[in-house]
Structure formats: C-alpha cells, structure tokens
Amino acid sequence: MLSLRVARGSVPTVLLRRLLVAAAAAGTGLLLLAALGYALGHPGDPSASSARLVWCLLPFAVALQLAVAVSRAEPSGRLHAGLAAVGLGRNVVPLLAAATTGLSCALGSAVALVVYLRLRGTAVEALGPENPLPFAGALVLLAAVPLLAAAASAASLWPRGADPSGPASADADDPGALSAVAAPAGLPWGVALTAIGLADDLSS
C-alpha cells in the first residue's frame, strides 16, 4: 500500500521510467510464454524448445538490469528524511523500492499473459494453440521477472556499513546517496532484443 501511495505521488518522469520497466517485463514475459507455447506444440523437438528458452535469458537479464537502474535512479533523499522522522531505519527505503519494482514488473507480466492468450486465440502455430496451457507453469515463468527484479533492486540499494536497525544517517538527506545510476542505459538494447525475439517467435 505504501508503494502504491509513493507511485501516485511521483513526478511524471519517475512514472515514465516505471512504465518502461513494466514494458520490459511484459516483453520478456511474452517471450517466455512463447517459448512455453512452442514447447507444448512441438514435444518431439526438445532442442529447438530449449534454444528458444535459452534465448530468453538475454532479454531477461536486460529487463533485470533496467529495473535495477530505474530503482537506483529514483531520488530517495527526501523519502529517507521522512522515514527517519517517524523513527524508521534505512532498510525501509530498499524494501519500498523493491516492492515498487516488483509491482511494476507484475503489471507487465499480467499484460504479457493477456496478450499471449489473445494471440493464442488467433491460432498462431508458434504459440501452440492446439494444446492446453499449463497455467501453473505459465505463472511460474511470469513470476520470475517480478521476484528477481525486486530482489536485485533491494540488494543494489541495501545500505552497507551502517546499523540496519538505526535511523537514517546524515547522508540520507543527499538525494544521490543511493542513486548511482542516472538513467536506464540498458533500455534500447532490451527493446531491440525483445522485438527481434517476438518477431522470430511469431514468424516461425
């Protein structure tokens, strides 16, 4: 709930970055579901199915890198000061950033599932429309991006060399204290790789 309130109060540029994270998660989730659909439709060709799944690792890694970059780029100094005023420690900010990142990626994964189900209805052969979709496996694949992105964001922002239970120190007022990355530099590569993968899956 707190992460939703922070998202509602964010400036447009911050919301735009979070939408980019959601878009990257949606593209990666759609690639993972396409690999699952191909495996369902071609049970006698495990090598090709494995190759498609391995190919998804690169966009997956780029989506995680983008999520971490966006988390570190968001200004946290003012939030640090507010949390310190109510007696909360420095560990709350990384956890809040992780929750916000996970929420953005979960939104993207939900969009990927909806788009995939719509595409399966058009009888695209590469998506295995003639086979029932194992929703448990699909949900596991879609949950991988939000969970790992949240964990990576929390790990990248976790305060080091400080008392984890104490209040924020003086450097918490510095908006750049926990924001080492100024912009999500991995976005262009992620968009290009995801677009190429989707085109390859739908054309084969």
Q: Answer yes or no: is pLDDT of 105 > 60.
A: yes
Confidence (pLDDT) at 164: 42
More confident residue, 138 or 193: 138
Q: Would you list the domain boundaries of the chain?
A: 11-203
The predicted model gives 46-63 an average pLDDT of 90
Q: Answer yes or no: is pLDDT of 75 > 50.
A: yes
Residue 173: half-sphere exposure toward Cβ, Cα within 13 Å:
2
Confidence (pLDDT) at 166: 45
Confidence (pLDDT) at 38: 86
Cβ neighbourhood burial of 35 (10 Å; 0-12, 13-18, 19+): buried
* Helix ranges restricted to H, the chain: 2-8, 12-41, 46-55, 57-73, 77-85, 92-120, 135-157, 187-203
* Sequence-ordered list of residues with C-beta below 8 angstroms from that of 154, at least 6 positions apart, any chain: 94, 95, 97, 98
Confidence (pLDDT) at 150: 94
More confident residue, 83 or 125: 125
- d(C-alpha 125, C-alpha 117), whole Å: 13
Confidence (pLDDT) at 43: 84
Q: Per residue in 139-194, pLDDT tens? A: 999 999 999 999 999 998 887 764 444 444 434 444 444 443 344 444 455 555 55
Confidence of residue 37 (pLDDT cuts 50, 70, 90): confident
Q: Which residue has the tokens 């204290």?
A: 177
More confident residue, 24 or 188: 24
CB 72 within 8 A of CB 183: no
- d(C-alpha 47, C-alpha 58), whole Å: 18
Q: Answer yes or no: is pLDDT of 199 > 80.
A: no
The predicted model gives 109-113 an average pLDDT of 95
DSSP state of 142: H
- d(C-alpha 67, C-alpha 61), whole Å: 10
The predicted model gives 117-136 an average pLDDT of 78
What is the overall mean pLDDT for the chain? 75
Quote the tokens at residue 90: 């420095």
- d(C-alpha 21, C-alpha 18), whole Å: 5
Q: Answer yes or no: is pLDDT of 107 > 80.
A: yes
- d(C-alpha 125, C-alpha 37), whole Å: 9
- d(C-alpha 2, C-alpha 7), whole Å: 9
Q: Answer yes or no: is pLDDT of 11 > 70.
A: no
- d(C-alpha 94, C-alpha 72), whole Å: 10
Q: Answer yes or no: is pLDDT of 123 > 80.
A: no
